[in-house]
Amino acid sequence: MNMEIFINFTYIISCMLFAFGLKMLGSPVTARKGNFISMSGMLLAVVVTLLSNHIITFQWIILGMVIGASAGAFTAYRAAMTQMPETIALLHGFGGLASLLVDWSAYHNHPTANLMISIPTFLSVVIGGVTFTGSCVAWGKLSERLPGKSIKFPGMQFVNIAILISLVVGGFIFISDPINNYPIFLAIMAVSFIFGIFLVIPIGGADMPVVISVLNSYSGLVACTTGFVINNTVLIVVGALVGANGIILSIIMCKAMNRSLTNVLFGGFAPTVKAKSDGEKKEAKSMSLEDAYLVLEAAKSVVIVPGYGLAVAQAQHAVRELSELLEKNGCEVRFAIHPVAGRMPGHMNVLLAESNIPYDQLVEMEAINPTFDTVDVAIVIGANDVVNPAARHDKASPIYGMPIIDVDKARTVFVLKRSMATGFAGVENELFYYENTSMIFGDAKQTLQGLIAEFKASAAA
């Protein structure tokens, strides 16, 4: 009894550590410490669970830990910052698969007719299967191994409805007699894998940040249901926390895109929409590095808007150096962060934190938008849809109504891009043709390094 009390008390401590860690992840200042605290809580729970279970053969557990830790360390070491979104998606998928395998093992070794076990087992297999294959598709889209656009075929909605019905019917059959319905269980697992693929392939690349957040929620929910299957309190609590956190984050991101969660999951962005022509041929202005330097040298207020292009160019360290030179020149520098900039939630925050940019310079969209009338220069680095003014007035645009960063209201706008290509939503950005906008074409890192060289040359003169 004393041992049981000790285990439960340790589980409570573990859950508290995990909850506090999640809370601290809400701020860039405390995120790293929060991540460490959450990991410590999970490690504590794993150690106590292993010590409390006398049937475990530790040599296999140690072997599994070594293999898993080695694979995780290798993946983290090799993954570039541009690969972080697809890496996160893949990790969510493996989390769902791990829970599914645990439930399969529990059912295979100890089949029971207890509804409190059979119902969570069914839910775990369905959610785990959907999470795994859905995450694999998200990984493929984000890594460009699969087309990033929405993939649909005629009758796809009817196929998905048929799959959903088959899962529900199969679930009723399995739950009614789980001991004698092992083939039904395997069929449910196979159909769940297929359902995960069909759920994610029609979702366009612009919605991928929300998809990653939803998959994060799924991985938490399947961990929670697994906790009921194997009667583990920590899995129930932690899974519920992660599931709720993922749902809340998904809703927040959908709000930032002016879209409903159901629309993202079952709709995807509309087909590519070209800008409407008013009879005049539009031309974007380009600017040289030298002229851009002269404008920045005279600026007293600069706002930098990072996007996925910043990650692609690995230009975060260069942008930090430029911001420091601007500040030495008496300029106020801030970074405007859009909730869905990049390819995953918080992507830009992580990217800028990597280059040690002070946290107080990162300003959320709602806080910085009212100040753009006083901004001398806005520098857009690789962002596209999140700064497109069409979202405010073009009702025919698929991004209409999505809150954007109002860079077009700044006195001068520099857009650093390789080309005039559209963003993930496939929509032409009318910002590029505004009178106060100048394009600086080329690799963002090289462009920033060129501006840095101009500042240093002027200082040395």
What tens digit of pLDDT does each residue of 251-294 get? Answer: 877 777 666 777 666 654 444 444 444 445 577 888 999 999 99
User: Are 337 and 441 part of one and the same domain?
Assistant: yes
- In this structure, what is the dihedral angle of CA atoms 353, 356, 361, 362, given to the nearest 10 degrees? -10
Domain contains 17: no
- Residues 113 and 155 placed together within one structural domain of the fold: yes
Indicate if 294 and 238 belong to the same structural domain: no
Q: Is 66 a domain residue?
A: no
**What pLDDT, on a 0 to 100 scale, did the predictor assign at position 97?**
94
Q: What is the dihedral of CA 307, 440, 331, 256, to 10 degrees?
A: -30
Q: Would you list the DSSP string of 340-392? A: T-SSSTTHHHHHHHHTT--GGGEEEHHHHGGGGGG-SEEEEES--GGG-THHH
Instruction: Assess whether 254 and 377 both reside in one domain.
Output: no
DSSP 175: H
Phi, psi at 272, each rounded to 5° = -55, 130
In this prediction, residue 231 has a pLDDT band, given cuts at 50, 70 and 90, of confident
Which tops the pLDDT comparison, 312 or 447? 447
pLDDT number for residue 271: 41
pLDDT of the residue at 205: 65
Q: Say if residue 197 is in the same domain as residue 235.
A: yes
Average pLDDT of the residues in 122-150: 89
Is the distance from CB of 257 to CB of 280 less than 8 angstroms?
no
Task: Specify the higher pLDDT residue, 277 or 197.
Answer: 197
What pLDDT is recorded for position 118?
93
Read off the pTM: 0.76
Q: How many CB atoms lie within 10 A of CB 299?
A: 20
Is 356 a domain residue?
yes
Higher pLDDT, 2 or 293: 293
β-strand 377-381 against 301-306: which pairing, if any?
parallel
- pLDDT at position 133 over 50: yes
Nearest one of 232, 216, 187, 181 to 89, comparing CA atoms: 216
Report which of residues 82 and 369 the model is more confident about.
Answer: 369
Query: Which range (60-74, 190-204, 370-384) has the least confidence?
Result: 60-74
Torsional sign, CA 12, 17, 18, 20: positive
Q: What does the radius of gyration of the chain's CA atoms come to, in whole angstroms?
A: 25
Work out the pLDDT band at 81, boundaries 50, 70, 90: low
Range scoring the smallest mean pLDDT among 233-247, 272-286, 331-345:
272-286
What number is the average pLDDT over the span 324-351?
86
Which pLDDT score is estimated for 270? 41
Largest separation between any pair of C-alpha atoms in the chain: 85
Say whether both 194 and 339 belong to one domain: no
Give the chain's domain count.
2
For residue 256, is it within any domain?
Answer: yes
Do residues 223 and 93 both lie within one domain? yes
Round the average pLDDT of the chain to a whole number and report it.
Answer: 85
Average pLDDT for residues 11-33, to the nearest whole number? 84
Q: pLDDT grade, residue 311 (50/70/90)?
A: confident
Are 197 and 317 in a shared domain? no
Last residue of some domain: 266, 300, 319?
266
Q: 296 and 225: one domain?
A: no
Residue 234 domain-assigned (yes or no): yes
Pair (241, 321) in one structural domain: no
User: d(Cα 305, Cα 337) in Å, to the nearest integer?
Assistant: 7
Residue 94 located in a structural domain: yes
Query: The domain spanning residue 450 has which CATH number?
Result: 3.40.50.1220
pLDDT at 150: 76
Predicted local distance difference test score (pLDDT) of residue 330: 92
At 356 the pLDDT is: 85
Q: Is 186 part of a structural domain of the chain?
A: yes
What local confidence, expressed as pLDDT, does residue 269 receive? Answer: 40
The proportion of the chain whose per-residue pLDDT surpasses 70, expressed as a percent, equals 91
Q: Which residue, of 266, 281, 304, is where some domain finishes?
A: 266
Q: Average pLDDT, stretch 409-423?
A: 86
Does residue 415 form part of some domain? yes
Between these two residues, 83 and 305, which has the higher pLDDT value?
305
| 340 vs 180, residue with greater confidence | 180
Distance, in Å, from the CA atom of 45 to the CA atom of 192, rounded to the nearest integer, reads 29
Residue-range definition of the domain harbouring residue 438? 289-460
User: Position of tokens 């025919």?
Assistant: 396
Residue in 103, 360, 376, 385 annotated catalytic: 385
Q: Are residues 257 and 194 in the same domain?
A: yes
Last residue in a domain, options 217, 251, 266: 266
The question of whether 408 is a catalytic residue gets the answer no
Check whether 376 has a pLDDT greater than 60. yes
Same domain, yes or no, for 262 and 355? no
Higher per-residue confidence, 299 vs 259: 299
pLDDT band per the 50, 70, 90 thresholds, residue 167? very high
